[in-house]
Amino acid sequence: MYKILKAEELADKIFLMDVEAPRVARHCEPGQFVIVKMDEKGERIPLTICDYDREKGTITIVFQIVGASTEKMADLKEGDYFRDFTGPLGCASEFVHEDIETLKNKKMLFVAGGVGAAPVYPQVKWLHEHGIDADVIVGSKTKDLLILEDEMKAVAGNLYVCTDDGSYGHSGMVTSMVEKLVKEEGKKYDVCVAIGPMIMMKFTCLMTKELGIPTIVSMNPIMVDGTGMCGACRLHVGDEIKFACVDGPEFDGHLVNFDEAMKRQMMYKTQEGRAMLKLQEGNTHHGGCGNCGGDN
Amino acid sequence: MGDVMKKVPVREQDPKVRATNFEEVCLGYNAEEAMEEASRCINCKNAKCIQGCPVAIDIPAFIKEVKEGDFEGAYKTIGLSSALPAICGRVCPQESQCEGKCIRGIKGEPISIGKLERFVADYALEHDIKPEGAKEHNGHKVAIIGSGPAGLTCAGDLAKLGYDVTVFEALHELGGVLVYGIPEFRLPKQKVVAKEIEKVKELGVKFETNVVIGKSTTIDQLIEEEGFEAVFIGSGAGLPKFMGIPGENANGVFSANEYLTRSNLMKAFDENYDTPIAAGKKVAVVGGGNVAMDAARTALRLGAEVHIVYRRSEEELPARVEEVHHAKEEGIIFDLLTNPVEILQEDGWVTGIKCVKMELGEPDASGRRRPVPVEGSEFTMDVDTVIMSLGTSPNPLISSTTEGLEVNKWKCIVADEEFGKTSKEGVYAGGDAVTGAATVILAMGAGKAGAKGIHEYLKDK
């Protein structure tokens, strides 16, 4: 059993929790994820690691209500327990293994969409702790749904906030911000890391391809075990089939087949919708991972 | 008294009824039937059946005890060689092991050794007969990676010798393939698997779930930081193979591992559980092994019309005869000498598979006749779900994160058969992680060998 030490609602339907998981906290690196299972009858849900404290032995997760399971998870309070909490899973971000001096000469841009700010945060924080200040674009549908702004500001070089409806920061999508920075402000980036809903990563990749910036994305397909034993999370990267849970979750965004990945993410749409309706009347939702902002 | 040349028949659920539920198919013997079957054993002096058993259970001895009604004694006799008799009695391919060597089998039917072992083990579970543990502890710490049959057996044997044993499991439940792979209708999880594992716990073995070795910690860290003096790797062969044909990523195409994990481990067949499963109306299972039969019979119970698509003929089916028989009884359709070449899809969902007819040519290296496509024989089979059951290979997670651990070209860990010794000092391995996908009983045999090897290594330390 894994104790919840802190539980708070960051924004409407977006929750943050600190969970006691010493083995995960001791070994995790930016870019990795965990799989949580709430209770006996629950499903296994992948969530990216938002932060970690090796000394306290805690992991911070952030999730958004997107289906029946995350809806139930949101009811957990401080002092409650997750039955299962497995990780760290997946590969660490590539830069973790790079030479720091080489890294210092690289200009990095992070693009976070919605709850994607959570997995972007530990990467930017890690770089900051190693003396590297990366630029960060955070996109949100509206001002109310923006999360981790202060935390991000504390570790980023330049932070650019965009909202779809213009209620805060720049008005428009993250892609237009990328374009503006490069084309209008003359910024040069050696690498871009984009994390968020698949549709947002897809369009960011189309933009960075045009701008000639190599781009890494963190894929969030349906997963079951998260250890490479089933292939539920498989996707096409170039001509190859990769399992996101063990080969990724980060891949070269210009090689990922997003259209196929988005279709696969919808596989259980009706079942999830039914499960959600069982819990509460209202909107049905898309399939997926529990941490993206919604693709529709 | 029945015909002495024939096995005492075992009671089974009616095929029409069981095709709609997940209850165990085979109901097993009662005491009377078991004693009658046991009395068919002629108690050979040089018993061939023992040679056929990978862990060399003293079969004539326990059968004699069954015949005399001493079921507790029979359980203890089996316990000297096997830690998981309720499981092996159910899932071993006895026809090619113990029963395949039985003298009775020459003129008539062999003794039903598997069903008798199962009866004895179930009797012990029902009557809560405890296994015998070590009298004193020797203080040596051993780590076991994986809680499947190899790991459980190794852990049980070492605990009996007095070792302080901890088993690390990546999933949230213990049992490996016994819980995620083999379905409820062949191997009940609560009634049998959980109780057998409880007996290993009673020997003093500790278990830690949700620990992925290679990620949550590494073997080197277990040795250097946590004080383990020896490690046994029983991590299995859980990496699924796909065919590499067009359309394989369409919605509705699953690996058998995913399909069975959803149904068995996550209980997706039960609507009180949260994990979904795409049941399918018409399902093709590609492959002919036990896993293919399990996936097919699971899909059938979820309400689908199910076809087994296999590229060789019935004679080459690698699945157990009993399972093929059960599958046919339940209404699984066999499309033999047929090979998929493309998965057809519409809007991302499977609509059918394009297949080609095969014929058997010359024998290949494995001695089986190689299937060759028949030119111009392509046809389309309309299905909405495809389950790929083409075998599995070891997950490279452990071998790639352990310094100095030798693997062969199939990514299997190199270990000797007698003691499970690997290229790394203090590290032993066995089961599917070493051999590639094989059987439960062979994994148990390897677990025993590993325990022997570790004992040899540590006893004088």
Residue B209: list chain A partners with CB under 8 A.
84
CB within 8 Å: B274 and A230: no
Q: What's the mean pLDDT in B272-284? A: 90
Distance CA A73, CA B172 (A): 18
| Number of neighbouring beta carbons within 10 Å of residue B284 | 31
Distance CA A242, CA A277 (A): 33
Average pLDDT, chain A: 90
CB contact under 8 A, B348 and A264: yes
Cα–Cα distances (Å) from B128 to B110, B121, B192, B197, in that order, read 30, 10, 12, 13
With an 8 Å Cβ cutoff, are A41 and B267 in contact?
Answer: yes
Chosen for mutation from B147, B249, B350 (greatest number of chain A CBs closer than 10 Å) is B249
Q: Give the three-class secondary structure for B21.
A: coil
Interface confidence (ipTM) of the complex:
0.87
Q: Which two tokens stand for residue B325?
A: 């028989």
Q: What is the pLDDT of residue A279?
A: 63
Q: How far apart are the CA of B407 and the nearest CA of chain A, in angstroms?
A: 18
Q: Is A271 on the interface with B (CB under 8 A)?
A: yes
Q: pLDDT at position A271, please?
A: 67
Query: What pLDDT score does A68 carry?
Result: 85
pLDDT bin (cut points 50, 70, 90) of residue A286 is: very low
Give A27-70 pLDDT, tens digit per residue.
999 999 999 999 999 999 999 899 999 999 999 999 999 888 89
Q: Name every chain A residue with its beta carbon within 8 A of the beta carbon of B262.
A: 224
Asked if the model's pLDDT at residue A26 lies above 60, the reply is yes
Q: Which residue of A has its CA nearest to B346?
A: A263
pLDDT bin (cut points 50, 70, 90) of residue A283 is: very low
Question: A241, B248: Cβ pair inside 8 Å?
Answer: yes
Contact between A24 and B216 using a beta-carbon 8 Å cutoff:
yes
What does the pLDDT look like over B145-191, one tens digit per residue?
999 999 999 999 999 899 999 999 999 999 999 999 999 999 999 88
Regarding predicted confidence, which is higher, B337 or A268?
B337
Tell me what the mean pLDDT of segment B7-16 comes to. Answer: 92
pLDDT for A277: 61
Shortest distance, CA B373 to any CA of chain A (angstroms): 26
pLDDT tens-digit series, residues B240-252: 999 999 999 999 9
CA dihedral A133, A134, A137, A143 (to 10 degrees): -30
Q: How confident is the model at residue A288 (pLDDT cuts 50, 70, 90)?
A: very low
Q: Is A33 on the interface with B (CB under 8 A)?
A: no
pLDDT category at B461 given cuts 50, 70, 90 is confident
Indicate yes or no: CB of A263 within 8 angstroms of CB of B251: yes
3-class SS string, A244-293: HHHHCCEEECCCECHHHHHHHHCCCHHHHHHHHHHHCCCCCCCCCCCCCC
Phi, psi of B346 (to 5 degrees): -135, 125
For the stretch B61-120, pLDDT in tens is 999 999 999 999 999 999 888 888 999 899 888 988 999 999 999 999 999 999 999 999
Chain B residues with CB-CB distance to A41 below 8 A: 267, 272-274
Whether B334 has a pLDDT exceeding 90, the answer reads yes
Q: How close A23 gets to chain B, by Cα (Å)?
A: 6
CA torsion through residues A103, A109, A112, A113, sign:
negative
Averaged pLDDT score across all residues of chain B: 92
Nearest C-alpha neighbor of A133 from the set A162, A169, A106, A115: A106
Residues in chain A closer than 8 A to B249 (CB atoms): 234-236, 241, 260, 264
> Which residue in B has a C-alpha nearest to residue A92's C-alpha?
B215
Q: Which of B216, B258, B395 minimises the CB distance to A87?
A: B216
Choose, out of A44, A229, A263, the residue to mutate when testing the contact with B (most B CBs < 10 Å).
A229
B360-to-B289, B312, B320, B364, B368 alpha-carbon distances in Å = 18, 7, 21, 10, 9
The reply to whether residue B395 touches residue A44, judged by beta carbons under 8 angstroms, is no
- Rounded to two decimals, what is the model's pTM? 0.89
Which residue in A230, A270, A279 has the most chain B C-beta atoms within 10 A of its own C-beta, making it the best mutation to test that interface? A230
Q: Are A87 and B257 a contacting pair at CB < 8 A?
A: no
- State the count of interchain CB pairs (< 8 A) between A and B: 112
Whether B240 has its CB under 8 Å from any CB of chain A: the answer is yes
Option in A83, A85, A263 nearest B348 (CB): A263
Which helix H or strand E contains B294, and what residues bound it?
helix B290-301
Q: Is residue B437 within 8 angstroms of chain A, CB to CB?
A: no
pLDDT, tens digit (0-9, with 9 covering 90-100), for B103-144: 999 999 999 999 999 999 999 999 988 877 777 888 899 999
Could you give the count of Cα atoms lying within 13 Å of A127 in the half-sphere of its Cβ? 29
**Interatomic CA distance for residues A162 and A150, integer angstroms:** 15
Averaged pLDDT for residues B265-276:
90
Q: Does the beta carbon of A284 lie under 8 angstroms from any beta carbon of chain B?
A: no
Q: Shortest Cα distance from A159 to chain B (angstroms)?
A: 32
C-alpha distances out from residue B237 to A115, B15, B109, Å:
35, 32, 34
CB-nearest partner of A224 from B217, B242, B262: B262
Q: Are B397 and A225 a contacting pair at CB < 8 A?
A: no
B294: tokens are 């399990």
Q: Does B246 touch chain A (CB under 8 A)?
A: no
How far does A236 lie from chain B, in Å, by closest CA?
A: 8
Interface residue B129 vs chain A (CB under 8 A): no
Residues in chain A closer than 8 A to B437 (CB atoms): none
Which pLDDT band, with edges at 50, 70 and 90, does A296 fall under?
very low
CA A245 to chain B, closest CA, distance in angstroms equals 12
What are the chain A neighbours of B216 within 8 Å (beta carbons)?
23-24, 27, 86-88
- What pLDDT, on a 0 to 100 scale, did the predictor assign at position B2? 66
A86: contact with B, CB 8 A cutoff: yes
pLDDT band at B279 (very low <50, low <70, confident <90, very high): confident
Minimal CA separation from A46 to chain B, in Å = 13
- Is B401 an 8 Å CB contact of chain A? no
- pLDDT tens-digit profile of A101-143? 999 999 999 999 999 999 999 999 999 999 999 999 999 999 9
A292 pLDDT more than 50: no
Cβ within 8 Å of residue B53, ≥6 positions away:
B59, B81, B97, B98, B441
Query: Among A225, A274, A277, A284, which would you mutate to test the B interface (most chain B Cβ atoms within 10 Å of its Cβ)?
Result: A225
Contacts of B215 in chain A (CB under 8 A): 27, 32, 87-89, 227
Strand order in the sheet with B305-309: B253-255, B385-388, B282-286, B305-309, B333-335
Within 118-177 of A, beta carbons closer than 8 Å to B belong to: none
Which of B210, B261, B347 comes nearest A84 by C-beta? Answer: B210
Is the CB of B274 less than 8 angstroms away from the CB of A42?
Answer: yes
> Which residues in A lie closer than 8 A to residue B391 (C-beta atoms)?
none
From A96's Cα to the closest Cα of chain B, the distance in A is 15
Query: pLDDT tens digits, residue range B388-405?
Result: 999 999 988 888 889 899
- Smallest Cβ–Cβ distance between A234 and the set B249, B278, B348 belongs to B249
Distance from the B72 Cα atom to the nearest Cα atom in chain A, whole angstroms: 34
Q: How far is CA B381 from CA A121, B187, B295, B339, B387, in A?
A: 49, 32, 19, 11, 14
Q: What pLDDT is recorded for position A275?
A: 67
Give yes or no for A242 touching B (CB within 8 A): no
Residue B367 has pLDDT above 80, yes or no: no
In sequence order, which residues have a C-beta less than 8 Å from that of residue B238 and are 6 or more positions away?
A: A227, A228, A229, B257, B392, B394, B395
